[in-house]
Structure 1
Amino acid sequence: MIFIPLPFVVALLLLILFVVVLKRDDEDEPNRPFLALILLAALQSVLSGLRWGYGLQAIGLVAPVIAATVPPLAYAGVSRLVRTSRRPLPVRMALHAVPAAVILLLMAFWRDAIDIALVLIFIGYAMAILLLMRPGADALRLAPFEGAVPAYRAIIFTAAALCLSAAVDTFVFLDLTSAHSERALTLISIGNLAVLVILGIAAAAASRSRAPAEMVDVAPRPETSEDKQTIAAVDALMEGRKLYRDANLNLDRLARKAGIPARQISAAINRVMDKNVSQYVNDYRIGEACRLLAGTEKPVTEVMFEVGFQTKSNFNREFRRVTEMTPIAWRQRRA
C-alpha cells in the first residue's frame, strides 16, 4: 500500500528541513523550540508509519504523550520571537510540561478522556499563539523588518496547523464512537501527515527571526499630537541618517536610536499611517530604490543591498506592494 512508506518519506523530508534550518542558523543563536518541533514532527511521522502501516499498536501508548508536547514547543518558539518571559527557565519548562503530564495521568486512570484532552490542549495553545500575535508583525520587536512579515505569516500557519490537528482528532473521535470507524484510518494518516508537514515548514520559516521580543500592545484610540511628534522624530532619523539602509534594523534598535519606547513608535505608526513599522521602514527603502533605479545604472541586485534588503524575494514583494510593478518593469517605464 502507498500509505505504508509515506510517513517515512515525510519524516525524511522533515529531517532534511531540520538540517537546512540548522545550517542556516549556524552564525546566530537558533530558535531551539522550533528546531525541536521539526524533529518531533519527524518522530511522529515515523511512529505513525510504524503504528498504522505495520500494526505496532504498542506505539499508541507513547504517541499521545508525544503529541501533547507539540503545542508547548510551538508556543515556546513563538514566545522567543514575541517577548522575553520574566519567569525563570525551569519554571517555564515545568509549565509547558503540564500537558504531557496530564496525558500521562489520563492514560493511567481515564483513557477515554485522552482524545478530548488533546483537542483542548491544541486549541488552547493555538489561541494563546494568536493572542501573542494580536499586534501583528510589530509584535516581533527584535526581528529584522525585512523578515518580520514572513515570520508573522508562518506563526499564523503554525496556529492554524494546531487547530487543524484538533479538528482531525475531533472527527476521528466521533467516527470511532459511531461504531463504523470506516474513515478513521484514512483521516488519521492523511490529516496527521498534513499537520506535521505544515508545522515543520512553518517552524522553519518562523525560525528566520530568532531574537526574543516583547509584545507590543496597540490600543485602538484616535491619533494624538504625541503620535505626530513621534513620527516626526522617526522621519528625521530615516531622512537624515538613512537608518533604513541598515539591513538588521528592527523595532528595538529603532526605538533606541530615536530615544522613544518601541510600544509608542508602533502605536503611532499604526494609528496615523494605518500600517505596521515594517511597512513604514520598507516604504523608505523602496523610495530610495526607485531613485537609484531611475537615476543610476546600478544593477537591481546592487540597489537591493544598498537600500537595506537582503533577499530578492522580499525586495520584489515590497516593491510590488508600493509600486504595483517589478523593479525591472519600473526602471524600463521610467527610462
Structure 2
Amino acid sequence: MIFVPLPFVVALLLSILLIRMLRMEEWSAPGRRLFLALIAAYALQSVFIGLRWGYDMLAIMPLQAVLAAIVAPLSFASFADLTLGTPRPLSRQWLHLLPAIGVALAFACWRDVVGLSLILLFIGYGLALLWISRSGADALVASRLDGAFLSYRSLVITAVALIGSGLSDVVISLDLYRTGGANAGAIVALGNVIVLLILGAAASIAGGTQPEQGIDSAPPSPALPTEEDDAVASRLDSLMETKQVYRDPELNLNRIARKLGLPARRVSVAVNRIHGMSVSQYVNEFRIRFACDQLAHNDMPVTSVMFEAGFISKSNFNREFLRVTGTSPTEYRRRERAPQPAKETALQAFVSR
C-alpha cells in the first residue's frame, strides 16, 4: 500500500484553493497578492514536511528551514498591509527576505543556531501581529467593512499560530533530545493541519469572500466625546445620507477617511465615541436601513436588495439585519406588507400592554 503522508494531502488542498483563488479577478489587486504568496508558501512547505517526515529525506531540511523563514515574515507583511491606506508594492517588501537569507547563511556556516533562529523568528513575528491587533478591527483600514471583524479575528489567530509554531519547535527539539524523535512526526503532522485552518482564514481575509460568523466584538469603552468628535461624526453622517457611500461593497475605513480628508484613526475614534460602535457596525446600520426601505416598498428579491444595500454575503446580511431590526429580511417584508387593519391591531395590542 502506498504511503501518502498527511502533509501531502494538506498541500493538495492548499493547491486547489490557490488555483481557485487565482481564477478570481479580485485576487489581482496589489494588496492581496501577498496572501496568494502566503498560500503558495504553505503548500510548498507542506510538501517539504511530507518529504522530511514521511520519507526521511534529510537533504530537504535546508530548503524547509529557509522557506519557514519566509513564511513568518510573509504572514506579518500580508496582514500589516491591511493597516495601510496604500499597500506597499512588492518591490518594497524585500526586507522580509532578510531572515531567510540569514537562515541560509547559518545552514552554511553555523547549523546549531538555525533551530533557535526559527523559534525566535516565529515567536517574534507572532508578537508583532498581536501588537497590530491591540487597536481592534478598525486598525485594518484596507479591509472591506463587510468582513472587517473576520479580518481582525484571522489576524489574531495567525499571530497565536505563529507563536504556537515556535513553541512546537521547542517541543520537537526536546523530543529529539530525549527520545530521538519518536513523537516528532506526529507533532509536525498535527501542526500542519492547524496551518491549513490558518490558511483558510488568511484566504478569507485576502478576498473578503467569507463572512464572519458569530457576534461582532464590542468596541472598547469610548472616552467622552469632544467637539471635534461631534464635527467628524456630523460630516460622516452627512456623507452617508447624501452620497450613500455605504452601498459600495468594497467600502473600507481608508476610503471613508479619504472622502472626509481625515486620518482613518480620527474617523474610527469619532464613531466609537459618538455612536459607541465600530465603523463596520455603523456602516452596516445604514445598509440595513436602506434594505428595510427597499423591502417595504418594492418587490425585488431579498438577494437583490442585499446587493443594492452594499452587502455581498448573505449570511452577514442576515446576521446584521437581525442585529439591527430583531427579525429576518423575509419576516420584515411580510410584516410591512401585512394589511393595514392587521398592522393597526398589532399596534393597539402593543400600546395596551
Rg larger for: 2
Q: d(CA) in 1 for partners of 2:304 and 2:86?
A: 40
- Contact 2:119/2:169 (<8 A) preserved: yes
- 17-26 vs 35-44, greater mean Cα deviation: 17-26
Flag the 1:333–1:182 CA change in 2: closer, same or farther, 3 A.
Answer: farther
Flag the 1:177–1:323 CA change in 2: closer, same or farther, 3 A.
Answer: farther
One-letter amino acid of the counterpart of residue 134, structure 2: R
1:324 Cα deviation from its structure 2 partner: 4.2
One-letter amino acid of the counterpart of residue 171, structure 1: V
Match in the other structure for 2:207: 208
Q: d(CA) in 2 for partners of 1:322 and 1:315?
A: 11
Match in the other structure for 1:310: 312
- Contact 2:70/2:99 (<8 A) preserved: yes
Match in the other structure for 2:70: 69
Flag the 1:8–1:88 CA change in 2: closer, same or farther, 3 A.
Answer: closer
Match in the other structure for 1:275: 277
For 2:23, what is the secondary structure of its paired residue?
A: helix
One-letter amino acid of the counterpart of residue 110, structure 1: W
Match in the other structure for 1:214: none
Match in the other structure for 1:145: 145
1:103-127 CA distances to partner (integer Å, 9 max, x unpaired)? 2233234333322221111111112
Flag the 1:167–1:330 CA change in 2: closer, same or farther, 3 A.
Answer: farther
- Contact 1:164/1:195 (<8 A) preserved: no
- 12-21 vs 77-86, greater mean Cα deviation: 77-86
Match in the other structure for 2:268: 266
1:4-60 CA distances to partner (integer Å, 9 max, x unpaired)? 342222111101110111112357425222111111111111111112212212112
Q: d(CA) in 2 for partners of 1:25 and 1:237?
A: 29
After superposition, residues 295-334 of structure 1 pair within 5 angstroms as: 295-334=297-336
1:63-96 CA distances to partner (integer Å, 9 max, x unpaired)? 1111111011111211222116898865641x21
1:286 Cα deviation from its structure 2 partner: 1.1
- 280-289 vs 268-277, greater mean Cα deviation: 268-277
1:167 Cα deviation from its structure 2 partner: 2.5
One-letter amino acid of the counterpart of residue 301, structure 2: P
Q: d(CA) in 2 for partners of 1:26 and 1:259?
A: 26
Match in the other structure for 1:83: 84
One-letter amino acid of the counterpart of residue 65, structure 2: P
- Residue of 215, 222, 226 corresponding to 1:224: 226
One-letter amino acid of the counterpart of residue 144, structure 2: P
After superposition, residues 237-256 of structure 1 pair within 5 angstroms as: 237-256=239-258
1:271 Cα deviation from its structure 2 partner: 2.2
1:175 Cα deviation from its structure 2 partner: 1.8
Unmatched segments (≥5 aa) in structure 2? 210-219, 339-353
Q: How high is the TM-score relative to the length of structure 2?
A: 0.82
1:135-188 CA distances to partner (integer Å, 9 max, x unpaired)? 222223233322323222222222232122122212112222224643222111
Identity of aligned residues (%): 46
One-letter amino acid of the counterpart of residue 80, structure 1: D
Flag the 1:100–1:84 CA change in 2: closer, same or farther, 3 A.
Answer: farther
Q: How many residues align?
A: 326
1:240 Cα deviation from its structure 2 partner: 3.0
Match in the other structure for 1:215: none
Query: CA RMSD for the aligned pairs?
Result: 2.8
Match in the other structure for 1:32: 33
Match in the other structure for 2:213: none
Q: d(CA) in 2 for partners of 1:275 and 1:58?
A: 54
- Contact 1:158/1:198 (<8 A) preserved: no
- Contact 2:26/2:207 (<8 A) preserved: no
One-letter amino acid of the counterpart of residue 197, structure 1: L
Q: d(CA) in 2 for partners of 1:219 and 1:68?
A: 39
1:208-242 CA distances to partner (integer Å, 9 max, x unpaired)? 159xxxxxxx9975321111121112112222333
For 2:307, what is the secondary structure of its paired residue?
A: helix
Flag the 1:117–1:325 CA change in 2: closer, same or farther, 3 A.
Answer: farther
Q: d(CA) in 2 for partners of 1:265 and 1:2?
A: 59
Q: d(CA) in 2 for partners of 1:89 and 1:299?
A: 42
For 1:177, what is the secondary structure of its paired residue?
A: helix
Q: d(CA) in 2 for partners of 1:204 and 1:38?
A: 8
Flag the 1:126–1:325 CA change in 2: closer, same or farther, 3 A.
Answer: farther
After superposition, residues 101-180 of structure 1 pair within 5 angstroms as: 101-179=101-179
Q: How high is the TM-score relative to the length of structure 1?
A: 0.86
Match in the other structure for 1:23: 23
For 2:178, what is the secondary structure of its paired residue?
A: coil
1:197 Cα deviation from its structure 2 partner: 0.6
- Contact 1:45/1:196 (<8 A) preserved: no
One-letter amino acid of the counterpart of residue 68, structure 2: A
- Contact 2:81/2:87 (<8 A) preserved: no
Unmatched segments (≥5 aa) in structure 1? 211-217
One-letter amino acid of the counterpart of residue 287, structure 1: R
